[in-house]
Structure 1
Amino acid sequence: MFRKILIANRGEIACRVIKTARRMGIATVAVYSDADRNALHVRMADEAVHIGPAPANQSYIVIDKVMDAIRSSGADAVHPGYGFLSENPKFAQALDKEGVAFIGPPVKAIEAMGDKITSKKIAAEAGVSTVPGHMGLIADADEAVRIASGIGYPVMIKASAGGGGKGMRIAWNDSEAREGFQSSKNEAANSFGDDRIFIEKFVTQPRHIEIQVLADSHGTTLYLGERECSIQRRNQKVIEEAPSPFLDSETRRAMGEQACALAAAVGYTSAGTVEFIVDGERNFYFLEMNTRLQVEHPVTELITGIDLVEQMIRVAAGEKLSFGQDDVTLNGWAIESRLYAEDPYRGFLPSIGRLTRYRPPAEVATETHVVRNDTGVTEGGEISMYYDPMIAKLCTWGPDRAAAIEGMRVALDSFELEGIGHNLPFLSAVMDHPKFIAGEATTAFIAEEYEGGFDGVDLPEDELRRVAAAAAAMNRVDEIRRARIEGRMDNHERHVGADWVVFAADREFPVRIAADRDGATVTFDDGQSLRVVSDWQPGQPLARMDVGGKPLVLKVAPRTAGYRVRTRGADMFVRVLSPRHAALARLMPVKEAADTAKLLLCPMPGLLVKLDVAEGDEVQEGQPLCTIEAMKMENILRAERKGRVAKINAGAGDSLAVDEVILEFE
């Protein structure tokens, strides 16, 4: 077995590998850039080596710098995680030349499967059904348009060396094919150092289902069930689950056997994933093979009980797999929610900054309930613009799908995160969406169900009443404390009334509250009563309650005459006023928002890489205005309506803050 493993990665996956290595008694070495000097993975590892400036192309993906770290640390094996150098055959070759074990597949398998064009040819030769497309390299945008037109729109434009949604675009016409080709090329070069692009038919309304394979160097190749990854945004997975609610046992076996056959055909060893798209009739087509550990591997671990990182280490050390295909059983259901530093209220654009509060739900593992949080950050840490925006992977397991979903709902509501924009509200919204609950989500789910973007959640009447009852009970606790403080100051304790009006989500709820030693009963003006039981105290940011006989978790922040309350994807200001103050509040005018219709504001912190217009230009609706790069993704800002550019306030190469004015229109 290895003595010391260097993790050639960062963030949550580096922390994940360190945990398993530590349990196996293996020392670990972290590498870090300037931006990650105080990162969690650096603190967790036994040793840490600095490898360069913040940009990944000057640190984490520079092979020579990583090799220097290996030599200086004396590591005898390297785990690449995912992304960065994980599927780079030159890195694997450099390790082999140095006599250092690569905890991953052989170089030939990486070359064969890591290149998306080559992998499709091999899959076709192996009898695996593949999606129609152009497997050759594409020289320029004109050729891309010709090929796309020949295949038939819509098409997927993809980076040959890509992964994680980087360097990927969907084109529905010639204009989008031309534009998408260039953007994909740029992203591929920046993320992978390889700008080769290919095009394939985009299958509409598909499901994205992948098979986890595991193979040793002694001839054993197994599949460990499937993961459904259909809920995606910008081709980047957001929520995954295992098993899939769509597959039957016959399709699962057929996909698993094809995946194993493909892996065996290229002499694959270690953990890998064969990805398929599956249509409504359960016909499946090979998409690609990822020759590395997948981001969503925890859900497979939760339903199989197999530590994939441990198996990768053991296989790399030359050991045989200690179990066979018949030993692999799928137990219960697991869901993973990817917590991203992306603001859902701003079109999911990247958000950077300091985590002023970071309190994940407690990790638990019982026979009926599991909560797991794979993360690489801590409170006070910085989310930078240089790397992937993923903060954590929150996972839950239950004996069935309904239990796993309910566990995820509670875990998301219990996750405290402040300081940056994040997608927690959106994740909560998905858990309550009827299409997701029914297991009917396809890869078009987000585009179809949130076509106009995400504006938060409007709670149904019964949930809104529960929130109103909880707010009334919290307000009573606050009022009692205030009355006691005032009483100590003037020797006369103020009486706390029983009648209140709760304003929530444009609704008014007149209530009467009756408290006792064990809780409070909140009665609405229509006669409905809800019992509220909680040990919440003023100042606590998380309120765990039982309201109406069901659990309710609220994130609570005090506001004048009320609270900011967040739960189940809703974010609202809940006011609790006396009847007299409520009458006066109804007379207050509503402040109008500032008019920014004639301004182009930067929607995210990032780098202005391209300006497409000049002062005095007339622009049409949908016309590109500029391109902003943030977290390795290019974002094209377009004109919302016809107009003329009056003033330009920024130029290419400028670093911009959120809401900074880029252009002004007449």
Structure 2
Amino acid sequence: MFDKILIANRGEIACRVIKTARKMGIKTVAVYSDADRNALHVKMADEAVHIGAAPAAQSYIVIDKIMAAVKATGAQAVHPGYGFLSENRAFAAALEAAGVVFIGPPSPAIEAMGDKITSKKIAQEAGVSTVPGYMGLIADADEAVKISGQVGYPVMIKASAGGGGKGMRIAWNDAEAREGFQSSKNEAAASFGDDRIFIEKFVTQPRHIEIQVLADSHGNCVYLHERECSIQRRNQKVIEEAPSPFLDEATRRAMGEQACALAKAVGYTSAGTVEFIVDGNRNFYFLEMNTRLQVEHPVTELITGVDLVEQMIRVADGQALPFAQSDLKINGWAMESRLYAEDPYRNFLPSIGRLTRYRPPVEGVTERGGIVRNDTGVFEGGEISMYYDPMIAKLCTWGATRGEAIEEMRLALDTFEVEGIGHNLPFVGAVMDHPRFVSGNITTAFIAEEYPEGFQGATLDDATLRRVAAAVAAMNRVAEIRRTKISGTMDNHQRRVGDDWVVAVQGQALAVTVDADRDGSNVRFADGAVLRVASDWTPGQALARLVVDGAPLVMKVAKIPGGFRVRLRGADLKCHVRTPRQHELALLMPEKLPPDTSRFLLCPMPGLIVAINVAEGDEVQEGQALATVEAMKMENILKAEKRGVVKKITASAGASLRVDDVIMEFE
């Protein structure tokens, strides 16, 4: 077994590999860029080597720099994680030539399967059903438009060396094909150093289901069942689960056997994933094979009990798999929510800055018998950089059934405290409560169909809203008692806290009476319904854990004038708790309106201006591209929302802007 391995990656996956290596008694070496000097993976590793400037193209994907770090530290093997050099044949070959073990598949298998064009050709030759498309290289945007018309719209424009949603666009017409080709090409070059593009038919109403395979050098190959990855945004997975709520045993077995056959055909060893599109009749079509560990591998580990990183290391050491296909059963259900540094209220645009508060839920077995796991690469006080992928953690839960796994995820998300940056916790929390998701009736179009205007926060149902109202009424009583005790020390008179209150929340005014005792409060509503509230919350605590009507309720709370700001289940609520008279007076107060910014194009995220597409005095049409902003390896094209004339341009290509900086003004 190896004594020391180097992890050629960063963030949560580097931390994940370090944990398993530590468990196996193997020392680890981290590599880091200027931006990651104080990163968590650097602190966790036994050694760390600086490899260059912040951009990945000057550090994490420079093979010579990684090789120099390997040589300097005497690492015997390298785990590439995912992304960066994980599917780079030249990197694997360089390690092999240096006598260093690559913890992954052989370089010929990476070449055969890691390239999406080549892999689809091999799959076709092996008799695997594939999505129609054009597998040849595409020279320019004109050719892309021509091919798209021949394949038939809609089409998917994809980077051959891509992954993680980078370099991917859906085009529904010639204009989108032309624009998508150039953006995909630019993103592919920036993220992977390879700008080759191919085009395939976009299958409508698809489910994205993938098979995890594991193979050794002794001829053994098994599949560890499937993962459902249909909840995607901009072709990037957001929520994954294992197993799929859609597959039956016959389809699962057929997909697994086909995935293993494909792996054996290319001499594959290590962990890998074969991705499929599955239609409503359970017909499945090969998409690609990822010759690496997947982001969503924890859900497979939770339902099989197999540590995939450990098996990758053991296979790389020449060991045989310790189990056969018949040993791999499905135990329970697992969910994964990806925590991204992006603002769901700004169309999920990237967000950077300092994590002023980062408190994940407690990992391990829960009171209900479920499991919580959080794979992360950040810490409270750390910085989220604009240079890398915006994912900062993967929150996973396990339950005996799908419903139990979802409920564990709901509570874990409500418990997860993140402040200082925009993040998508409210959105994934809302998805967990969405009836369509709960039913399992999902496709890759779920987000586009259910949130066509973007995400503006969840609306709680009446039953949940009542539970929240009861909770804040009880909490308000605790806060009022503390406040009157403090003021009472000054004048030797303590004002009695009243029992009757009005909770104004989500457009409703709920009159309640709070009857408190030593163990909690009975909150009575106007219709006579009573909810029992018990909690040890004290004023100033940012997280309130309560039991309301016998069921747990977790809320993030902050004091505001006359009440609380409360966040849970994707909702961000202002809960005002007033006396009946105060409520009457509050209804007379005028509403403060936000300022009018419709005449300005504001930068929606911290980022770099790549291009300004118009000039002062130009007349622009609705939907016309105005500027391109790059952040976290993604290009974002800002378009005109309506017809107008450009009055003034205040930013130029190459400028770094903050959120809401003015790019241009219209007449």
TM band (smaller chain): over 0.9
The one-letter amino acid of 2:334's match is: A
SS at match of 1:289: strand
* Structure 1 position 296 matched with structure 2 position 278: no
Which position in structure 1 is the counterpart of 2:193?
A: 193
- What is the CA distance between 1:285 and its match in structure 2? 0.2
SS at match of 1:320: coil
Cα distance in 2 for partners of 1:526, 1:222 equals: 59
Cα distance in 2 for partners of 1:423, 1:207 equals: 22
Cα distance in 1 for partners of 2:459, 2:18 equals: 41
- What is the CA distance between 1:524 and its match in structure 2? 1.2
Which position in structure 2 is the counterpart of 1:4?
A: 4
Which position in structure 1 is the counterpart of 2:563?
A: 562
Describe the superposition over 1:493-516 as per-residue Cα deviations: whole angstroms up to 9, x where unpaired: 111111111111111111111100
Which position in structure 2 is the counterpart of 1:506?
A: 507
Cα distance in 1 for partners of 2:656, 2:208 equals: 36
When the two chains are superposed, the root-mean-square deviation of aligned CA atoms in Å is: 0.7
Which position in structure 1 is the counterpart of 2:143?
A: 143
Which position in structure 2 is the counterpart of 1:115?
A: 115
Cα distance in 1 for partners of 2:92, 2:417 equals: 40
Cα distance in 1 for partners of 2:286, 2:606 equals: 37
The one-letter amino acid of 2:480's match is: E
TM-score by length of 1: 0.99
1:71-90 equivalence runs, <5 A: 71-90=71-90
* Structure 1 position 350 matched with structure 2 position 350: yes
Which position in structure 2 is the counterpart of 1:51?
A: 51
* Structure 1 position 407 matched with structure 2 position 432: no
* Structure 1 position 245 matched with structure 2 position 234: no
Cα distance in 2 for partners of 1:278, 1:575 equals: 48
1:430-449 equivalence runs, <5 A: 430-449=431-450
Which position in structure 2 is the counterpart of 1:16?
A: 16
Which position in structure 1 is the counterpart of 2:463?
A: 462
- What is the CA distance between 1:557 and its match in structure 2? 0.6
1:166-205 equivalence runs, <5 A: 166-205=166-205
Which position in structure 1 is the counterpart of 2:581?
A: 580
The one-letter amino acid of 1:553's match is: V
Cα distance in 2 for partners of 1:105, 1:348 equals: 35
The one-letter amino acid of 1:307's match is: D
TM-score by length of 2: 0.99
- What is the CA distance between 1:380 and its match in structure 2? 0.4
SS at match of 1:533: strand
Describe the superposition over 1:610-644 as per-residue Cα deviations: whole angstroms up to 9, x where unpaired: 11000000000000001000000000000001000
- What is the CA distance between 1:489 and its match in structure 2? 1.1
- What is the CA distance between 1:593 and its match in structure 2? 1.0
- What is the CA distance between 1:368 and its match in structure 2? 3.0
Which position in structure 1 is the counterpart of 2:397?
A: 396
Cα distance in 1 for partners of 2:449, 2:584 equals: 42
Which position in structure 1 is the counterpart of 2:523?
A: 522
Describe the superposition over 1:79-110 as per-residue Cα deviations: whole angstroms up to 9, x where unpaired: 00000000000100110111100000000000
The one-letter amino acid of 1:219's match is: G
SS at match of 2:443: coil
Which position in structure 2 is the counterpart of 1:25?
A: 25
SS at match of 1:467: helix
Cα distance in 1 for partners of 2:514, 2:94 equals: 71
- What is the CA distance between 1:528 and its match in structure 2? 1.3
The one-letter amino acid of 2:382's match is: G
Which position in structure 2 is the counterpart of 1:375?
A: 376
Which position in structure 1 is the counterpart of 2:612?
A: 611
1:151-170 equivalence runs, <5 A: 151-170=151-170
- What is the CA distance between 1:365 and its match in structure 2? 3.0
Which position in structure 2 is the counterpart of 1:124?
A: 124
- What is the CA distance between 1:526 and its match in structure 2? 1.8
Which position in structure 1 is the counterpart of 2:627?
A: 626
Cα distance in 1 for partners of 2:127, 2:343 equals: 43
Cα distance in 1 for partners of 2:499, 2:125 equals: 76
- What is the CA distance between 1:430 and its match in structure 2? 0.5
Which position in structure 1 is the counterpart of 2:269?
A: 269
Cα distance in 2 for partners of 1:598, 1:37 equals: 41
Cα distance in 2 for partners of 1:376, 1:241 equals: 21
Cα distance in 2 for partners of 1:510, 1:445 equals: 38
In structure 1, the gaps of 5 or more residues are: none
- What is the CA distance between 1:66 and its match in structure 2? 0.7
- What is the CA distance between 1:6 and its match in structure 2? 0.2
Which position in structure 2 is the counterpart of 1:287?
A: 287
SS at match of 1:211: strand
- What is the CA distance between 1:490 and its match in structure 2? 1.0
SS at match of 2:369: coil
Describe the superposition over 1:378-398 as per-residue Cα deviations: whole angstroms up to 9, x where unpaired: 000100100000010000001
- What is the CA distance between 1:548 and its match in structure 2? 1.6
SS at match of 1:99: coil
Cα distance in 1 for partners of 2:219, 2:613 equals: 56
Cα distance in 2 for partners of 1:601, 1:399 equals: 47
1:485-504 equivalence runs, <5 A: 485-504=486-505
Describe the superposition over 1:449-484 as per-residue Cα deviations: whole angstroms up to 9, x where unpaired: 000100101111111111111111000000000111
Cα distance in 2 for partners of 1:536, 1:486 equals: 21
Q: What is the percent sequence identity of the aligned residues?
A: 76
